[in-house]
Structure 1
Amino acid sequence: MFNKKTIHLIGIGGISMSSIALMLKNMNAKVTGSDIQESDITNNLIKEGITIEYGHHPEMIENADIVVYTAAIHETDSERIAINKYNKTSYERAEFLGLLMKEFKNSLCVSGTHGKSTTTGMLANIFLTANLNPTIQVGAILPEINSNTHIGNHNYFIMEACEYVDSFLHFHPTSAIITNIDNDHLDYFKNLDNIKKSFHKYVGLLPEDGYLVKNNDDKNSNNLEKYTKAHVITYGINNFADYEAKNITCNNLGHYSFDIYHNYKYVTRINLNINGKHNIYNALSAFALSQNYIKDYSLIKKGLEEYHGVGRRFEYLGKFNDALIYDDYAHHPSEIKTTIESVKSVKHNESWAIFQSHTYSRTKEHLDSFANILSEFDHIIIATIYPAREINTFNISEDMLVEKIKEKNKNVIYINDFDKIVNYIKNNVKPNDLVITIGAGPINKVSKKLISLN
């Protein structure tokens, strides 16, 4: 379909767009791209033989057969304008990804408000362990492939499917995991009911011979089975489910072990090698879907137990002056709550949270919840809000979050510069403390800088 076509990607440095670029190159397309700035991702693409220019380059559109752009690229962008000027066929990223999915026999998609990347990584590692050589697209770096992308065969496409702006409604899933449904992306959805409706439409895309794997402990996922023709498989801990975790234990590293029961019958015991009780749910869902494609339970078990997480998910980076340094992508109160559970599982003295909220709309919507959950740390540093796609029309500021936290008599400060945050930590952190950067923006630059100072 794309053989020898010239395809230009606007915003090629994004985690999803870079994956699309590699997939297209594997399909023998000529791939070009543009992005605002150089990054590790763009440098890696250039090494793969992909032509990339930085800044705005409308002249690159003239020679393209197809142009793909992300939702973040506004219609007033010079390259978007050039699409109309040269009368080129164009697609928004999600639309085009939907086209790519048609090239695969089985598209296994992981969706949900929280846990998508980790669960996608687990599922991918299971299929890699079983030597099924899947094509993989995940929204983070997977250590097992040292990338967010693996180009495999066309039998299996394992991908993370995001609900934002209804992106996943352009997809063609064969089977789907829904980890959970929660209040997020309210700049687009406005309320939880609209989020649920989007997921209802999504599961309706599944074919009759496909599988929907849903979390029985998540109240917002309760009625998903009403909206799909696919086979429904449930998993959980607290309520009866097709796949249940029982006899749960935790070692001194914060790694959980549990027995899996299928329809009340013992199947196997799983010993995870990543932190956090929430990963029991993620592992259960990956196990439940995998068993429909892989009949040897020992391979599924091996894939889960040899999985060591994806980048920026309670990731241990090293030490600074004998303090433990971590980074976490959490950017929603529910995710930070999970992060705190992981922090508590690690032996340390005092805890330091360096939090960069992601988008003004999310900060406004969850201001009280952010204040409540961050107050569980001993020390809190608030960084400048990362705007992403937004401008601040929400009457929200970092100082408002600081004041909310101060009401709880907590040690909190707002610092508006990453280098100043690094210096503050240098002057105040003690040996055996735990420092964690939290947020989906570039706040991890702080934790990386601290590590580099050793």
Structure 2
Amino acid sequence: MKKIENVFILGIGGSGMSSIAKYLAQKGMKVEGYDQRKSYITNQLEQDAVKVYFDIDNFIYSPNVLYIYSSAVPIDKTFLKNNLANNNVQSRAEFLEKLSYENKIIGVTGTHGKTSTTALLAHIFHHNNIDVSYIYGGSTSFHGIGGHYGKKDLPIILEVDEAFNTFKDIKIDDLLVTNIDEDHLDYFETFEKLIEAFRKVILNSKNNLVLNYDDQNINDLKIRNKHTIFSSKNGAEYKINYPNKFIHNSKEYEIVSNLIGSHFVSNITGAIALAFLNGIEIEESLEAIKSFPGVNRRTEYLGTVRGIKLYDDYGHHPTEIKATITALKEITKGKLYVIFQPHRYSRTNEKFEKFKEELEYADFSIVVDIYPAGEKPIPGVTSKNFESKNIKYLKSIRMIPAYLSSRVKENDIVLTLGAGDITLLGPQIIKYLDEK
């Protein structure tokens, strides 16, 4: 990889791939890539001097290019199909593994919250003039796409992803684990196998280990390696006192943040603990947190129109949905309206009852058709099944602004929720309400 100066990334519009593209471009490599369609991310990449193609039918393999491909791309149907065994053709997981053997890695993992926490940790370092590199699958209003090449003798802060067991072979020096929850069972088959994958990664971390003991699944691992605990339970080195304080070494600290919800307070505390283990004083981390805007699509505030606040969130797992709805219910003076787009037929099928339970906690929910994310439909699995007294099914996203307009009132909150193209809806609702 050191001898190759040209990089081509397949699936470059994905959040995990775009951050790698930006990191390598800032490192001085010529980076290009392919994606199926234009998007906000591909537009951002081109602003970062990364050329994006939308048709690669006439491309041919070159031994002088490093190819990195996403798991979302059917690589055996591309121009690389006969070269997959070559060293310059790497999956995302293989690239990150090789990167980890060339750099110190400060990793953040967990089923929920890892992107925001990685971004926050990177922000803490940069706010304190420590120019670390970072790679995480999201973007912020401060730094754009979550990739940056910093000083080469400093660590890389890396979001360590459990999907497809990506984190299995990454060499991690310091590790923060936010939680472990039931997800990606289409790959792992059972929750026990997923937990075992986390256990191996935790035990293989080399130096500082920070664990959230409010998460029962982490607690149940009974990790014997030396580690730092953050938790609301007595005995934790970082004892959280909700809603926004923690105690360390008998001193109480207050968290001042733009982020909404107790789950963010927990993740912030974990990030502060890991930053402290890397030489950043707690007071310096707290000062940095005040200016952290959050990651796009993580309870992201979109604006206010007619006294109605709109938020957008990436949540596509029942636990994430519960955390976001709970956080917004605590601050709303009126009603909370949720518009949910289920993500994948398999996940909707596996967790249907949990999804429905969390959606019914909102004052009113609208569910649109399932975003397939490349999956084929499963007979009988449809968003229509969610309908109940407080849940309405609407087939078309385009119907929603008009439907909401006659119902929402001043002091209400509207939340768009899901990992698909539901994120495009919020600005449309704002525009529609503003014109009425």
* Partner in structure 1 of residue 201 of structure 2: 202
Deviations 1:407-430 (A, max 9, x none): xxx232211222112221223322
Amino acid at match of 1:174: D
Query: Alpha carbons of 1:80 and 1:398: their partners in 2 closer, same or farther (altered >3 Å)?
Result: farther
Over the aligned positions, Cα root-mean-square deviation in angstroms equals: 2.1
Query: Alpha carbons of 1:340 and 1:51: their partners in 2 closer, same or farther (altered >3 Å)?
Result: closer
Deviations 1:28-52 (A, max 9, x none): 3332211111122222322333332
Amino acid at match of 1:270: I
Deviation at 1:341, TM superposition (A): 1.6
Deviations 1:215-271 (A, max 9, x none): 1111101244547x5x3111100342121123x4xxxxxxx4313223xx2153333
Map residues 212-291 of structure 1 onto 2, 5 A cutoff: 212-224=209-221, 226=223, 231-246=226-241, 248=242, 256-262=243-249, 265-266=250-251, 268-291=253-276
Deviation at 1:19, TM superposition (A): 1.5
Query: Alpha carbons of 1:359 and 1:124: their partners in 2 closer, same or farther (altered >3 Å)?
Result: same
Deviation at 1:358, TM superposition (A): 1.0
Is the Cα–Cα contact under 8 Å of residues 186 and 361 in structure 1 kept in the other structure?
Answer: no
Q: Please say if 1:138 is aligned against 2:136.
A: yes
* Partner in structure 1 of residue 14 of structure 2: 14
SS at match of 1:413: strand
Percent of aligned positions that are identical: 32
**Any unmatched runs of 5+ in structure 2?**
none
CA distance in 2 between partners of 1:93 and 1:140 (Å) = 16
* Partner in structure 2 of residue 379 of structure 1: 364
Query: Alpha carbons of 1:342 and 1:53: their partners in 2 closer, same or farther (altered >3 Å)?
Result: same
Deviations 1:353-398 (A, max 9, x none): 1000111111111111111111112221111111113212364111
Is the Cα–Cα contact under 8 Å of residues 109 and 178 in structure 2 kept in the other structure?
Answer: yes
Stretch deviating more after TM superposition (366-375 or 341-350): 341-350
Deviations 1:276-334 (A, max 9, x none): 11122111111111111124332122122332321111111112333221111111111
Query: Alpha carbons of 1:345 and 1:199: their partners in 2 closer, same or farther (altered >3 Å)?
Result: same
Return the match for 1:301 from 261, 264, 286: 286
Is the Cα–Cα contact under 8 Å of residues 32 and 50 in structure 2 kept in the other structure?
Answer: yes
CA distance in 1 between partners of 2:21 and 2:300 (Å) = 27
* Partner in structure 2 of residue 170 of structure 1: 169
CA distance in 2 between partners of 1:351 and 1:294 (Å) = 42
Is the Cα–Cα contact under 8 Å of residues 4 and 30 in structure 1 kept in the other structure?
Answer: no
SS at match of 1:275: coil
Amino acid at match of 1:240: G
Deviation at 1:63, TM superposition (A): 6.4
Deviations 1:421-441 (A, max 9, x none): 222122332232211111111
TM-score of the two chains, using structure 2 as the length reference: 0.93
* Partner in structure 1 of residue 70 of structure 2: 70
SS at match of 1:272: coil
SS at match of 1:61: coil
Deviation at 1:93, TM superposition (A): 0.8
CA distance in 2 between partners of 1:270 and 1:223 (Å) = 28
Stretch deviating more after TM superposition (75-84 or 47-56): 75-84
Q: Please say if 1:444 is aligned against 2:423.
A: yes
Amino acid at match of 2:72: A
Return the match for 1:401 from 386, 389, 406: 386
Is the Cα–Cα contact under 8 Å of residues 122 and 157 in structure 2 kept in the other structure?
Answer: yes
Aligned residue pair count: 432
Query: Alpha carbons of 1:134 and 1:437: their partners in 2 closer, same or farther (altered >3 Å)?
Result: same
CA distance in 2 between partners of 1:39 and 1:375 (Å) = 32
Is the Cα–Cα contact under 8 Å of residues 15 and 140 in structure 1 kept in the other structure?
Answer: yes
